[in-house]
Structure 1
Amino acid sequence: MASSDQTQAQSQQRAQQRQYASKPSRSQAATPASENADMRLEFQAPGNRTISAPTSPAKTRDSILQRVQSLTDAAKEKASSISNDIKYAAATRRQQRVNKDRLLTLLVVDDENLDWSRYFRGKRFFGDFEIQVEQANIKELTVTANAEKGCTVSMTVVSPSGSKVVRSFKPDFFLCRQSVRDADKDYRNVLLGLNIGGVPSINSLTSLYNFQDKPWVYGQLVQLQKKLGKENFPLIDQTFYPSSGEMSVASQLPVVLKIGHAHGGVGKIKVDSNSDFQDVTSIISVASTYCTTEPFIDSKYDLHLTKIGSHYRALMRKSITGNWKSCVGSAMLEETEVLERYKFWLDAVAELFGGLDILALEVVVSKEGIEQIIGVNDSALSLLGNQQEEDRRHIFDLVIERLESQVLSNMGSQPTQSQLEDEAPSIPARRDSIMSESSMTSNQSNQPVKSSLSRQGSVVSSTTTVQQNKAPLDDSEDTMKNLRKTFAGIFGEM
C-alpha cells in the first residue's frame, strides 16, 4: 500500500515537470514585447502613449541642438576671454623680465585721449637701451615706497578683452601731464611715494610738490619781482585771506576772488559790490579754505606763453562768447611773436624751485595795452593751438635727454669685455739685463720655488731669443757660450 502511494507521487511529479518544461518562460515570453517597448521609448516621452507626428522628433532634436550649440559658443567665448587675459598678463610679465637691465620704464600720468607710447615705440639710445611706457590716469595709481627697495607703482589697466587688470612695476622716470591737486581731488601721496623711491621726473618732484598751492607759487613770484623790478616783471597785485574771518570789505572793486587751489577757471568769481563780497565770504566759511583777491582787468586778450626745454611759444587768446574768463567758452587762438621780454619772463620763472623744464605763464592784456602776469603753470600745462603735436615732440626730446643724462648715469652700466681689454695697460718688452732680472726673481722670497723656477725659465727663453736674433744663425759656438753664461748667472744667484 505504501509502495503504491510512492509510485503515484513520483508519476505526478514527473508529469508536472514535463508540463513546466513545455511552457515558455516568463522572461522569454516578454522579450519581443520588451524590445518593441525599448524601440518605442526612443521616440516617445515617458508616460505618453500617444504617437507623435513624424516631424515632431526632428524639431525637438533641432531645438535641443541649437540650445546646446549656443551654450557651447558662450562657454568658448568666456574661455577665450579668460585665456586672452592670462596671455596678456603673462606677456606683460615676460616683457618686463626680458633684458631687464637694458629696459627703462617711463611712467606717464595723462588721460586716455593721448597715447604717449607711440612716441617712444622702437626708440633706442646708447645702442641697446629700450623704453617701456606705462601710462595711466593719476587717480588709478597707487605708490608704495621703501628707502632701500625703491618704489612700486600699481595701476589698473584694461586688457584686450575689456576686463580690468592690476599691473605693478618699478618706474625709472616720471612725466606728469595732469594736475596732482585740484578743487575736488588731491593725489599728493603719489608724489610722496615717488620722492621716497628717488624717481627722477620732469618737472622735478620738488617743483611739482611746490605747485600744489597757488598762493605759495605767487609768493615766489613776488620775490622774483622784487629782484627784477616791477617794470621788468609786471606781476598782478594779490591779497591773501587765510579764512573767511579776516574778510571784511574789499579794498577795491571790482575784484576777482579765487577760492582754494583749482584750475581751468574753477573756483573763480567776479565781485562787483561789497554786498556780493559779503555773500561770497559766507560761502568761503562753509568751504573752510583760503582765498585770494586781485583787481579785475577788463581784458582785450590774454597771452599763453610756454617754454619747453629751449623752445618758446606765444599764443594770443580772445574770447568769442564775451565771458570775462577767456578760458571758459569759445575763444579764438592766434600764434604771435615771442618777444624778448616774454623770453626774459619765462627764463626768470624757469629758475624757481631748482629749475622748471616745462612751464607756462598766463598774462592778461588790458584794453589800454598793459600786461599783467596772473599765474604760472608747471608740466601739467595745456597745449593749445595748431602746434600741439610739435610741442609733444619737444616734450619727447626733453624726456630722452633727461633719461640719458640722469637715469643712465645713475645706473652705472658695467663695461664690456672689449672695453676692459682696451683699457688694460700694455706691458712693454723687457730690456733689462740678465743679472737684474735674476736678482729681482731671487728677492721674491714669499713666492714658491716652482713659481720662481718658472719665471726664471721664461727669462732664459726670452733672453736666449733676443741674443740669437743678434748673433748669426750658423754661429753655434757663440750660442753655446751665451747659454752657459745665462745658466751660470741664474743658478749662481740662487
Structure 2
Amino acid sequence: MECIVKDSSLYFIDADGACKPDVIFWRLGAVNPEAKHRSILELIDYSGIPCVNSASTLLMGYDRLSMLNRLKKLGLPVIGFNVATGTDQLKNLEMQFPFVIKVGNHHGGYGKSLVTGEEQWEELKDLLFIHHDYVTTEQFIDYRYDIRYLAVHDKVWAMKRKGRYWKANSLTRKYQLMEPEEEWIGKVKQLQENIEADIVAIDVLETENGERFILEYNDIPGLSGFPETVKIELSEIIKNKLKQ
C-alpha cells in the first residue's frame, strides 16, 4: 500500500484502488518500522486526518530509543541500558552476564537475545556484525511476571502475564486481570498525558523480591485478554474523532 497527499487531501492506494479515509486506526506493530511508515505518519499529521493515536503521538514512540528516552525524562523506572549506534562498537557494550542484547527497532520479541556467557557473546558479536543498526544491551531481569497497565481515554486496566520463555510479552501462556494499583495508575496516566495518547500501555516486570521496572511503553497495544469494555471505550474515541 502507498500513500499520497494531493491538494492537501490524503489518499491510500493499493491494487484495488484509492481510498480517502475519514479516520485512521493505526495498527502497525510487531514489525521493524520502515522509513516509509514514518513518512506516512508525517503525511497523516500534515493532512489533519484524525488518527488513533494521533500521528504526532505515534511519531514520538516510533523508535525504541525515542520511546525509552521519553520514559527516562518523565522519571519513570525504565530499565537502564547501554547503546551503540553501530555494531563495530559491540566490544564496548558488554555487561555482567546475563544480559539482554537488542538490535534496532524490532518488536514482538524479534531481534533480541539473552547472553549468558563469554562464548555465546563472542558468537553473537560475529553474527551481529553484519547488521547496520544501533544495538542496546540491558541487564537481564529475572522476572516473576509482567504486568500490562492499559489506559484508554480516562480508564485504566491491568493484566498480569507470564510468557513461555525469558522474553516478556512474547508467547504468553498465562494471563490474569488484576485490580490496577493507584501508584501505577498514576504512572501510566502521567505518560498518557505527556504524549497526549488516546490509548497507551506500559509493560512492567516484577522480580521475585517485588522490584518493578518498566520494560517499554506501547502506543499501539494489543487488547487480547482485556474485557470487551476496552473495545467499547476505544470505539467511542473513534466516533468522537469522526464527529470532530
TM-score (norm 1): 0.47
Output aligned runs, 1:400-411, within 5 Å.
Answer: 400-404=239-243, 406=244
- CA–CA separation in structure 2 for the residues paired with 1:329 and 1:220: 27
Output aligned runs, 1:59-458, within 5 Å.
Answer: 141-146=1-6, 148-156=7-15, 166-179=16-29, 182-183=31-32, 187-225=37-75, 233-249=76-92, 250-319=94-163, 321=164, 323-353=165-195, 355-378=196-219, 380-385=220-225, 387=227, 389-404=228-243, 406=244
- CA–CA separation in structure 2 for the residues paired with 1:270 and 1:392: 35
Structure having greater relative contact order (Cα 8 Å, sep ≥ 6) = 2
Q: Which residue of 2 aligns with 1:25?
A: none
- CA–CA separation in structure 2 for the residues paired with 1:245 and 1:291: 10
- CA–CA separation in structure 1 for the residues paired with 2:191 and 2:11: 33
**1:191-225 superposed Cα distances (whole Å, 9 cap, x missing partner):** 23323322121111112122221011111111111
Deviation, 1:365, is 0.4
CA contact (8 A) 2:147 2:161 kept: yes
Deviation, 1:306, is 0.4
SS at match of 1:261: coil
- CA–CA separation in structure 2 for the residues paired with 1:386 and 1:169: 31
List runs of 5+ in structure 2 lacking aligned partners: none
Task: Summarize the Cα distance change of 1:245–1:335 in structure 2 as closer, same or farther, 3 Å threshold.
Answer: same
Task: Summarize the Cα distance change of 1:352–1:282 in structure 2 as closer, same or farther, 3 Å threshold.
Answer: farther
Q: Which residue of 2 aligns with 1:92?
A: none
Task: Summarize the Cα distance change of 1:200–1:220 in structure 2 as closer, same or farther, 3 Å threshold.
Answer: same
- CA–CA separation in structure 2 for the residues paired with 1:306 and 1:370: 20
CA contact (8 A) 1:215 1:240 kept: no
CA contact (8 A) 1:151 1:197 kept: yes
Q: Which residue of 2 aligns with 1:430?
A: none
- CA–CA separation in structure 2 for the residues paired with 1:359 and 1:216: 15
Structure 2 letter corresponding to 1:142: E
CA contact (8 A) 2:83 2:137 kept: yes
Deviation, 1:184, is 7.4
Deviation, 1:371, is 0.6
**1:255-292 superposed Cα distances (whole Å, 9 cap, x missing partner):** 11111111111111000123322322222220111111
SS at match of 1:318: strand
- CA–CA separation in structure 1 for the residues paired with 2:25 and 2:32: 22
Task: Summarize the Cα distance change of 1:370–1:331 in structure 2 as closer, same or farther, 3 Å threshold.
Answer: same
Deviation, 1:362, is 0.7
Task: Summarize the Cα distance change of 1:360–1:386 in structure 2 as closer, same or farther, 3 Å threshold.
Answer: closer
Deviation, 1:331, is 1.4
**1:84-106 superposed Cα distances (whole Å, 9 cap, x missing partner):** xxxxxxxxxxxxxxxxxxxxxxx
Deviation, 1:386, is 5.0
- CA–CA separation in structure 2 for the residues paired with 1:253 and 1:351: 37
CA contact (8 A) 2:3 2:10 kept: yes
- CA–CA separation in structure 2 for the residues paired with 1:328 and 1:220: 23
Deviation, 1:330, is 4.7
Task: Summarize the Cα distance change of 1:386–1:149 in structure 2 as closer, same or farther, 3 Å threshold.
Answer: closer
List runs of 5+ in structure 1 lacking aligned partners: 1-140, 157-165, 226-232, 407-494
- CA–CA separation in structure 1 for the residues paired with 2:202 and 2:153: 15
Task: Give the number of equivalent residue pairs.
Answer: 242
- CA–CA separation in structure 2 for the residues paired with 1:255 and 1:182: 23
Deviation, 1:394, is 1.1
CA contact (8 A) 2:160 2:178 kept: yes
- CA–CA separation in structure 1 for the residues paired with 2:57 and 2:226: 28
Structure 2 letter corresponding to 1:348: Q
- CA–CA separation in structure 2 for the residues paired with 1:329 and 1:185: 25
**1:31-65 superposed Cα distances (whole Å, 9 cap, x missing partner):** xxxxxxxxxxxxxxxxxxxxxxxxxxxxxxxxxxx
CA contact (8 A) 1:244 1:282 kept: no
Query: Which structure carries more strand by proportion?
Result: 2
- CA–CA separation in structure 2 for the residues paired with 1:210 and 1:195: 12
SS at match of 2:176: strand
**1:291-327 superposed Cα distances (whole Å, 9 cap, x missing partner):** 11111111111101100111111000123x4x11243
- State the identity %: 24
Structure 2 letter corresponding to 1:282: D
Task: Summarize the Cα distance change of 1:264–1:396 in structure 2 as closer, same or farther, 3 Å threshold.
Answer: same
CA contact (8 A) 2:156 2:180 kept: yes
CA contact (8 A) 2:95 2:139 kept: no
SS at match of 1:287: coil
